[in-house]
Amino acid sequence: MKNITVYDIAREANVSVSTVSRVLNDTAPVKASTREKVNKIIKKYQFQPNALARSLISKATGTIGIIVPDITNPFFPEVFKGAETEARAKGYTFFLCDTEGDYERESEYLSILKEKRVDGIVFLGGRINLARCSPKLAEEVTELSKQIPVVLVNGNLPKSSMYRVMTDEAAGAELATRHLIEMGHRDIAFLGGYDAMSTTSQKVKAYKRIMKEAGLPVRPEWIIHDGLSIESGKAMMGQLIGMKERPSAVLCVNDFTAVGAVKEAIERGLRIPEDISVVGYDDTHLSTAIIPELTTVTQHTYELGKQAVQILHQLINREETRKLTLFQPELVVRQSTGPYHELAPKVE
């Protein structure tokens, strides 16, 4: 029952523990015959060296912590998948920390990850998406990053120069807005996210800029920031439809809200895209799961995770690497957007 150790192996093989260690790590030449003898006993007992003891000496654990706000939002599993595939190839295992966007939980996990001596941390969501993150929250991360490599994905921290991997959110929103304008839409709303979130505000800013450039009016009442979930998407679309004048097209902050918006619109008897166009953001699996399939902005989620780990790996190995990796998003036109119709014609 007792855990078997290098000593047990050594004793049975009539060698010293150092020799066992040598065959284990191939760190110095060992006579072929002894090596075989040792290996046989290792196999016999299925001996696996204790990674804890090893890490205590090597100061490397082969683990990475990944902090996400909601693993239930398909965007994050997709990023995770990219990260994990890359990490596995490099010999890392992941601690997955779901914070539910709660800053306190983030702090907790940060502390745990540090205690557990992870080799690096990938940080998504929560405080790094705040338009104005409190100095205290920010400092906690920047301080930690002096001790453990940290890579932020799609976020940033004030007064810091963290390593970051991100999509150009503004560019994505620009693409989406242009697309709608080119389809002849003039009355375009923006739905979802939160005022305080940088990911939201960056998109809104781009949307407003493009609208102005095109000489189109931006109506404050058509910009609603009230959540990121499917449910909130429904609610916000409901609000929009309830107004005296409603837009002919809607930009959503992510696929979740877009799906909600689409559902609500259809339930209220609107046709998509004939009566109202909707565009999402993220290009998660969800966007092709529904009917009509969502026109959305692809973020290269998998690549985002993969790059984050690559950067982290370089940091861990103390290699020079770029501070910022920026991905250019692309618009994926599917079925939820269509040309503007003055009076929605009866179709089919």
Q: Which residues bind DNA (CB under 7 A)?
A: 3, 5-7, 14-22, 24-25, 27-31, 33-35, 49-50, 53-54, 56-58
The entry of a second copy, DNA, none that residue 259 binds, CB within 5 to 8 Å by partner kind: a second copy
123 binds a second copy (CB under 8 A): no
Residues 137-166 that bind a second copy (CB under 8 A): 143
Q: Are 297 and 172 in contact (CB under 8 A)?
A: yes
95 binds a second copy (CB under 8 A): yes
Query: Using CB under 8 A, which of 115, 319, 320, 342 touches a second copy?
Result: 115
Residues 6+ apart with CB under 8 A from 246: 187, 189, 240, 276
- Least distance from DNA to the Cβ atom of residue 15, Å: 3
Residue in 117, 114, 118 with CA at minimum distance from that of residue 94: 118
- Least distance from a second copy to the Cβ atom of residue 333, Å: 18
- Least distance from DNA to the Cβ atom of residue 108, Å: 19
Query: Using CB under 8 A, which of 11, 90, 263, 268 touches a second copy?
Result: 263
Residue count of the chain: 348
The entry of a second copy, DNA, none that residue 266 binds, CB within 5 to 8 Å by partner kind: a second copy
Sheet containing 277-279: order of strands: 223-224, 188-191, 249-252, 277-279
C-alpha span between 128 and 154 (Å, rounded): 8
C-alpha span between 197 and 279 (Å, rounded): 20
Binding-site string for a second copy from residue 280 to residue 299, where x marks contact by CB under 8 A and - marks none: -----xx-xxxx--------
53 binds a second copy (CB under 8 A): yes
**Nearer Cβ to a second copy, position 114 or 208?**
114
Query: Using CB under 8 A, which of 12, 34, 49, 142 touches a second copy?
Result: 49
259 binds a second copy (CB under 8 A): yes
Segment lying near a second copy (by CB under 8 A), choices 9-17, 54-62, 121-129, 202-210: 54-62
The entry of DNA, a second copy, none that residue 78 binds, CB within 5 to 8 Å by partner kind: a second copy
- Exposed e or buried b for every residue in 149-185, given b needs 16+ CB within 10 A? bbbbbbbbbeeeebbbbbbbbbbbbbbbbebbbebeb
Segment lying near a second copy (by CB under 8 A), choices 11-19, 114-122, 214-222, 321-329: 114-122
Binding site for a second copy (CB under 8 A): 3, 46, 48-53, 55-56, 59, 61, 63, 71-72, 74, 76-78, 80-81, 84, 93-98, 109, 111-117, 143, 230, 259, 262-263, 266, 285-286, 288-291
